[in-house]
Amino acid sequence: MSSPSSGGHRFPLLTACPPALLPYVPRVPPTALPGKVTATTFALEMPCCVFDGHANASDAVWLVVAFANASDAFRNPPSREDVPPYERLPTAHSYMTLEMAAAAYACPAPSPAVLRVGGDTACAGEGGRDPCNGPLPSPGPYRVKFLVMGCHGPKAETRWSDPILLRRAASPSTIDPAPARRDSAAVVITSILASLGAALAAAVLGAVGAEAWGSLCRRDPGNGTFAHRSYRTHHIAPALPQPLPPGCGCNPPGLGCFAPRRPSPCPAE
Amino acid sequence: MAKSDDGIRILQGLLVFGNVVIGMCGIALTAECIFFVSNPHGLYPLLEATENDDIYAAAWIGIFVGFALFALSILGIVAVIKSNRTLLLVYIILMLITYAFEMASSITAATQRDFLTPNLFLKQMLERYNKSEADNNNDKWMTEGVTKTWDKLMLQNQCCGVQGASDWQEYTSAFRRTHNDADYPWPRNCCVMNAQGSPINLDGCKLGVPGYYNSNGCYDAISGPMNTHAWGVAWFGFAILCWTFFVLLGTMFYWSRVEY
């Protein structure tokens, strides 16, 4: 692998023009997508129509990802062989990925409107297969920029983005499942039912107690009972008619028996 | 004499009517509680895993109380018509016992409902969904129940998480330990599926593009049926008890006036 210094000896410094600085700033899409920034990935707006006029169709556009505190120290690689791979992120604090043909960003805008950084889990750890768009190992913050690489080195670059901080997930043990306050309906039901139950129990005890007390003190049946009794009927044989005492001219029997009275003499006329 | 006779007849009629209503309400209570216990929405595993399924206990009590109310109402009608003091006393005592049980059921359903907060289900989902290692058999049973229920819930109701898909991003979870964040920002069942059961656009789902993932939270689908369950048992029980209170008072008055 040629080092930058020997490359500088190989080719005269005059032909290695510094890459054109494009005013475009990469950014996370402003639309509300819950997955645009996760714990190990983030999404970027596609830089459509940004490289027109600065890149041929055969040039490659790379994405440079660096830790926010290491972005100033990043130097553009002079050729494709010097591109820092994904595996060197912990040591080099930067890497390049998402190599795409410049035609992919040409106007009019192609269908996918975002780029997902960190979405490829199959290439992580394989080594050798670059460029690898592997998941980011730490929450960052990161800064990114686009770099157009031609046959002779970098041709154009965009500005660095603002620092992108990935999500840090909290532990579920911090969730408090206790209810905020007691629902009023539960209080109403409990209090009313408790009082009804207590009233019933008191009424039953009172009624049974009064009954027991009354049956202890009472000698004859009370007057307060209504006439709704349960009657038990017994069959009584009808009594035979008694013989009439002599001298009685009573008719019908049973009306009382009186001796017949002589009519009073008529008053003298 | 005739006036008090009329009064008695009216009281008898009222008590019979009251008992008829109690009998019908008892049958309705039994039917309602059987419906809830039969777990029509498949949410019982979630309650079981909270280890606080008292609203189910309240519904079970309601089944037996409803049946007891029906049987006792028939006894009450017979006792009132025959004006038999012993029967009336038996009726009153058994009704009081049933009253106490129904009070317990109603109060339990009303108060335990308060514990079913969104945070409770969120914590349970994060700690149990797709948990790979189990502490014991009971834990394994509850984990499987929670996982199956959530999978079914997310598919049938087109929802994700308790309050939304971001629940899976804001907190670490047992799911996150076995499924990496880049491939599975949230479970697959949060994606909109086609007829064959696979996501229509996996990349869109991972990003959270509307139309390719379920944006609603599942809390409404959980709390709706549970609220209906708890309030159905609590308020209907409360209404029956209020009515039964007056019928019992009338019966006690009637009992105190009947002569042997």
The per-residue pLDDT for range A237-261, each reduced to its tens digit, is: 776 666 655 655 555 555 555 555 5
- The nearest CA of chain A is from the CA of B125 a distance in Å of 10
User: Do B126 and A221 lie within an 8 Å CB cutoff?
Assistant: no
User: H helices within chain A, ranges in order?
Assistant: 4-10, 89-92, 184-217
User: Do B252 and A201 lie within an 8 Å CB cutoff?
Assistant: no
SS3 content of chain B, % helix, strand, coil (to 5): 75, 0, 25
- The nearest CA of chain B is from the CA of A211 a distance in Å of 7
* Euclidean distance between CA atoms A65 and B80, whole angstroms: 89
Three-point CA angle B200, B202, B206, nearest 5°? 135
Per CB-CB distance under 8 Å, the chain B contacts of A207 are 252, 255-256
* Euclidean distance between CA atoms B7 and A97, whole angstroms: 96
| Number of residues that make up chain A | 269
Return the pLDDT at A182. Answer: 77
Using a 10 angstrom Cβ sphere, with 0-12 exposed, 13-18 middle and 19 or more buried, the burial of residue A210 is: exposed
Q: Among B113, B171, B238, select the one facing A170 at the smallest CB separation.
A: B171
Please report, as a single letter, which amino acid is at residue B15: L
* Euclidean distance between CA atoms B11 and B255, whole angstroms: 11
Q: Is A171 on the interface with B (CB under 8 A)?
A: yes
Pairing of strands A153-157, A142-150: antiparallel
Exposure string (b/e) for B102-116, b if CB count within 10 Å is 16 or more? bbbbbbbbbbbbbeb
Question: CA nearest B230 in A: which residue?
Answer: A186
* Euclidean distance between CA atoms A183 and B233, whole angstroms: 16
Question: CA nearest A29 in B: which residue?
Answer: B207
- The nearest CA of chain A is from the CA of B208 a distance in Å of 5
**In chain B, where the domains are located:** 1-116+226-257, 118-131+142-218
Using a 10 angstrom Cβ sphere, with 0-12 exposed, 13-18 middle and 19 or more buried, the burial of residue B149 is: buried
**Cα separation values, A2 from A82, A130, B55, Å:** 8, 18, 74
Q: Which of residues 135-164 of A touch B (CB under 8 A)?
A: 135
**Chains A, B: CB pairs < 8 Å:** 163
Question: A66: part of which helix (H) or strand (E)?
Answer: strand A60-67
Architecture of domain B118-131+142-218: Orthogonal Bundle (1.10)
Query: To probe the interface with B, which of A36, A86, A188, A190 has the most B CB atoms within 10 Å?
Result: A190
Return the pLDDT at A153. Answer: 84
Q: Which residues pair with A147 in a beta bridge?
A: A62, A157
Pairing of strands A60-67, A94-101: antiparallel
Return the pLDDT at A267. Answer: 53
Q: Predicted confidence band at A3 (pLDDT cuts at 50, 70, 90)?
A: very low
- The nearest CA of chain B is from the CA of A88 a distance in Å of 19
Per CB-CB distance under 8 Å, the chain B contacts of A228 are 5, 8, 83, 258-259
Q: Among A41, A193, A211, select the one facing B241 at the smallest CB separation.
A: A193
- What pLDDT, in 10s, does the model give residues B153-173? 999 999 999 999 999 999 999
Per CB-CB distance under 8 Å, the chain B contacts of A120 are 182
Per CB-CB distance under 8 Å, the chain A contacts of B84 are 230
Return the pLDDT at A268. Answer: 52
User: Do B207 and A116 lie within an 8 Å CB cutoff?
Assistant: yes
* Euclidean distance between CA atoms A166 and A141, whole angstroms: 7
Other C-beta atoms lying within 10 Å of the C-beta of residue A143: 23
SS3 content of chain A, % helix, strand, coil (to 5): 25, 15, 60
- What pLDDT, in 10s, does the model give residues A80-115? 888 888 888 888 888 888 888 877 777 766 555 788
Q: Among B8, B100, B107, select the one facing A189 at the smallest CB separation.
A: B107
Say whether A99 sits in a helix, a strand or coil. Answer: strand
Residues 6 or more apart whose CB falls under 8 angstroms from that of A252 comprise none
- The nearest CA of chain B is from the CA of A163 a distance in Å of 20
Three-point CA angle B112, B118, B121, nearest 5°? 85
Whole-prediction pTM: 0.78
* Euclidean distance between CA atoms A76 and A57, whole angstroms: 21
Q: Is A186 on the interface with B (CB under 8 A)?
A: yes
* Euclidean distance between CA atoms B100 and A193, whole angstroms: 10
Per CB-CB distance under 8 Å, the chain B contacts of A46 are none
**Cα separation values, A256 from A242, A245, B135, Å:** 13, 11, 105
- The nearest CA of chain A is from the CA of B173 a distance in Å of 7
Per CB-CB distance under 8 Å, the chain B contacts of A199 are 245
Q: Is A85 on the interface with B (CB under 8 A)?
A: no
Per CB-CB distance under 8 Å, the chain A contacts of B258 are 228
- The nearest CA of chain A is from the CA of B139 a distance in Å of 18
Architecture of domain A20-169: Sandwich (2.60)
Return the pLDDT at A2. Answer: 44
**pLDDT by residue for chain B (260 residues), tens digit each?**
456 788 889 999 999 999 999 999 999 999 999 999 998 888 999 999 888 888 889 999 999 999 999 999 999 999 999 998 899 999 999 999 999 999 999 999 998 888 889 999 999 999 999 888 888 888 899 999 999 999 999 999 999 999 999 999 999 999 999 998 888 999 999 999 998 888 998 988 998 888 899 999 999 999 999 989 999 999 999 999 999 999 999 999 999 888 75
**In chain A, where the domains are located:** 20-169
Question: B71: part of which helix (H) or strand (E)?
Answer: helix B54-82
User: Do A226 and B257 lie within an 8 Å CB cutoff?
Assistant: yes
Backbone angles phi, psi at A130, to 5 degrees: -105, 160
